Structure 1
Amino acid sequence: MEERHKRILQSNRSVLMGGLDPSKLYDGLLEKRVFTQDMIDEIKNSGTRRDQARQLVRDLETRGSRAFPLFLQCLHETGQQSLAEILQNGAPAAQLQPSPAARPAVRPLPLSSPMDADKLSRETVPVCPVQQPSTTPSPSPEKDSPRPRPQGRPRRDSIQSYKMDASPCGLCLIINNMEFEPQTELSNRKGSNIDCDKLESRFKALNFTVEVKTNLKQRQIKHALSALCKKDHSQYDCCVVIMLSHGTEVSHNRFPGAVYGVDGQHIPVQLITNYLNGQHCPSLQGKPKLFFIQACGGDEKDTGFEVSPDEAAPSIGGEDDQTDAIPTSSSSDSLSTSDEVDARATLPTPSDILVSYSTFPGYVSWRDTQAGSWYVETLDRILEENANTDDLVTMLMMVNHEVSQNSAKGLYKQMPGSFNFLRKLLYFQTQR
């Protein structure tokens, strides 16, 4: 797509997010060969109408020089002429001011929750309350008038736990990509079979029905996830997906990173999770969906930082350590600068989802060709030793700590982490 057309789409992004109806465009965009069927399926699976509109515009910017005029044509054909005219005129949305009669009344900003603090900090002009003159005395300092302790704050022992007593507890899908097609120029992942065997045995011991699929192309990964999504999970309490592959960093608005099929085509983690969210898999609504990603989040190597002597610990790691990174041209900041904040008034779609990454987004993940990856080796051992007594989030913190002590080639470090949208504590079934 020509740069001027990209600029028009970007400057009118908020208008498109608010008014575009992607569902009316799919047939026309497919017929005109602007998108492939796979691309349209990916857009449909990206979430709400607004999420689909965002993904559609992003993908549109990657298409050829005819994509923009054909997109305008589709808008006209589907009754979305007003959007087509805005784009055709090339006028940024900020220039389209409402008439004085239609201008909305200015209202005070609502109080923001702590989660909104980072959003406000990115505004170009800070919003500050106006200090009104007052004749009343100022409040006493906090030491003179102690703040009352918040009432009703939940204690850890009062937090509910997920029901995890079904037998079997749930389904576990492991996708293990080891041998990549030569034209992809991706190295084979020696040692990944060790990871796969460990996790298969571990989750069977935790009373899951485990299915292993090996060396899948991107399309086959999507098919396997779609098949898992379409199963009836009503008799189960949980679902687990494990991805063992090369990975890279991609733009996103929810979960960072992507994993590669053996054909060199990647699938975003965000799309992987969408298959099982409450919107697309009703029989898993309110149940925990767990994703474990052993892949790189990018191509940066972490050399760590100097710590005090009491923090220092012997590092482990060998000369045979390899990474699961694929170089990427994107910035190490995985958020696109064109992303915008969308307010949600309902329970977020990713509720009851946890995504555990082997490494911090943007960095490589290390794998020993003889013993398997640092992350999986540690995760397997922590689950074996602590699943009887500890919840999943606590155990993942143990994994984070232990992997952070490792060192590849005596120099490089690794820091796992997770995106946790669980609402309750999760305790696995174990043989006590």
Structure 2
Amino acid sequence: MDPKHRGILQRQRYNLVKALNPPEICDGLLSKGIFTQDVIDGIKSKETRREQARQLVTDLETRGSRAFPAFLECLCETGHQDIAELLQSEDGARHPLPIPVQPLQVPLPVQIPKYTEKPDRPDLTPSVVVLPLKPEHLPLHKSLSPPDMKRENQRERHKRPRRDSIQSYKMDASPCGTCLIINNVDFEPASDLKDRKGSNIDCDSMEKRFKALNFEVIVKRNLKYKHIRHEMSSLAKRDHSEYDCCVVIILSHGTEANHNRFPGAVHGVDGPALPVQLITNYLNGKNCPSLQGKPKLFFIQACGGGEKDIGFEVSPDEVEPSSGGIDDQMDAIPMSSSSDSLSTSDEPDARASLPTPSDILVSYSTFPGYVSWRDTQAGSWYVENLDRVLEENVATDDLVTMLMMVNDAVSQISAKGLYKQMPGSFNFLRKLLYFQSPQP
């Protein structure tokens, strides 16, 4: 599909999911050669109408160039003219909206009265003479030409696209999976790290949010370096066979660290820092077989380094600036020493010979090397906006799309009227990921 049309579907996903009647649209897309029966069976396997509609739109985005105009036709044919016009308005009227096809009406034979007697006799009754229609009087329509229809159907079959491989992760287990939250607030004096006031607000919001998303949430507070490793090892040893996903959220001070895959490191309350790369390795396919092929998500609220970003000047209409809190603090110290960085001698699960991770996404609160800001009264910029975006968009959008929304929101905040922050992620997911919608 044209990237422009894919973008339109993504922006209008909420309206489409809200309005569509999937069985009607599926029938039309099948007849037009856009969907195969296998794709439709996958859509109908979803339990609710909204889930079916969401899967329909997701699958539609993976079709070829004919998918968008064919979708517009299906909308018009099934009484969704308003939605079709909405999509068409974004497309710049490139494709004229189809006029709903009415049943072909062939004119009745012309009846001309013919008098059997002279017309000046008032008592005469006319008889009817039926004149046959000439071919040029017949309306033009493809349905009147069976050979043409046969050739058109053959062309449709030849142009029918193959079934695409990109799909969504299975996310319907109950509970969906385990969510481990590590919340480091009170740091030991010997660590030379300040206490992280406001982090409990982040922890509470993430605990509530992922419970609402049907995760089993485990919260651990004020963990030392070795205890972080112990909790990750325990999580890896759990049996995740009945689950569809695993989430790890770490709220702590952070720093830079040597790496060859995932940057950054997070500090235990005693001071030493554990590289993010080692944290993710606990759940890779080798160390946690029951999570093979399933998404492993890591959300890191910690600094990626000690550099402060003062941003760059743009025109006023580029952003909607907003200021941070009255007491913004950083979650950073300088780059960790070599003793805290990766070492193949004491960290055998970090060897370069391990396969490249799959089904892993690491979302960072800030760009590697830069500080991450936290309001002592309201929590961190990143977690606050992550929680809000999940609440507002989880029913309609996939995770990567929502993280872009978080990036945009955080990028428009300023600390002390000067400093900026840019979240980002390292994405090794193979499919789209939709969380379960919270139950009303």
**TM surpasses 0.5:** yes
1:192 aligns with 2:190: no
Shift of 1:152: 11
Q: Output the CA distance in 2 between the equivalents of 1:290 and 1:180.
A: 26
1:304 aligns with 2:305: no
Aligned to 1:179: 186
Shift of 1:327: 1.9
How many residue pairs get aligned? The number is: 272
Contact 2:325 2:377 in 1 (8 A): no
Max Rg structure: 2
Aligned to 2:263: 256
For residues 115-157 of structure 1, the C-alpha deviation after alignment (integer angstroms, 9 at most, x for no partner) is xxxxxxxxxxxxxxxxxxxxxxxxxxxxxxxxxxxx99999x9
1:201 aligns with 2:208: yes
Provide the secondary structure at the position in 2 that maps to 1:310.
Answer: helix
Alpha-carbon distance change, 395 to 183 in structure 1, aligned in 2, over 3 angstroms:
same
Aligned to 1:365: 372
Shift of 1:308: 1.8
Provide the secondary structure at the position in 1 that maps to 2:269.
Answer: coil
1:239 aligns with 2:246: yes
Contact 1:253 1:335 in 2 (8 A): no
Shift of 1:279: 1.1
Q: Output the CA distance in 2 between the equivalents of 1:236 and 1:175.
A: 21
Q: Output the CA distance in 2 between the equivalents of 1:252 and 1:428.
A: 30
Query: Quick one: which of 355, 363, 368 aligns to 2:362?
Result: 355
Contact 2:325 2:378 in 1 (8 A): no
Shift of 1:343: 9.9
Aligned to 2:272: 265
Query: Quick one: which of 383, 397, 404 aligns to 1:390?
Result: 397
Contact 2:255 2:336 in 1 (8 A): no
Q: Output the CA distance in 1 between the equivalents of 2:290 and 2:330.
A: 37
For residues 141-191 of structure 1, the C-alpha deviation after alignment (integer angstroms, 9 at most, x for no partner) is xxxxxxxxxx99999x96200000000000000000000001111000000
TM-score normalised to the size of structure 2? Answer: 0.59
TM-score normalised to the size of structure 1? Answer: 0.60
Query: Quick one: which of 278, 284, 287 aligns to 2:294?
Result: 287
Note the residue ranges of structure 2 that are not aligned, 5 or more in a row.
1-158, 344-350
Q: Output the CA distance in 2 between the equivalents of 1:329 and 1:259.
A: 10
Q: Output the CA distance in 1 between the equivalents of 2:362 and 2:301.
A: 11
Query: Quick one: which of 211, 220, 225 aligns to 1:218?
Result: 225
Alpha-carbon distance change, 326 to 153 in structure 1, aligned in 2, over 3 angstroms:
farther
Provide the secondary structure at the position in 1 that maps to 2:323.
Answer: coil
Aligned to 1:418: 425
Note the residue ranges of structure 1 that are not aligned, 5 or more in a row.
1-150, 337-341
Q: Output the CA distance in 2 between the equivalents of 1:319 and 1:176.
A: 23
Alpha-carbon distance change, 307 to 330 in structure 1, aligned in 2, over 3 angstroms:
farther
For residues 188-220 of structure 1, the C-alpha deviation after alignment (integer angstroms, 9 at most, x for no partner) is 000000000000000000000000000000000
Alpha-carbon distance change, 216 to 330 in structure 1, aligned in 2, over 3 angstroms:
closer
For residues 377-408 of structure 1, the C-alpha deviation after alignment (integer angstroms, 9 at most, x for no partner) is 00000000000000000000000000000000
Contact 2:214 2:438 in 1 (8 A): no
Contact 1:277 1:349 in 2 (8 A): no
1:164 aligns with 2:159: no
Q: Output the CA distance in 2 between the equivalents of 1:350 and 1:343.
A: 11
Contact 1:174 1:211 in 2 (8 A): yes
Aligned to 1:377: 384
Aligned to 1:43: none
Contact 1:172 1:241 in 2 (8 A): yes
For residues 272-303 of structure 1, the C-alpha deviation after alignment (integer angstroms, 9 at most, x for no partner) is 00000011100000000000000000000000
Q: Output the CA distance in 2 between the equivalents of 1:273 and 1:311.
A: 36
Q: CA RMSD in A?
A: 2.6
Paired residue type of 2:377: Q
- Identity across aligned pairs (percent)? 79
Aligned to 1:400: 407
Query: Quick one: which of 419, 424, 436 aligns to 1:429?
Result: 436
Give 4+ residue runs of structure 1 displaced > 6 Å after superposition. 151-155
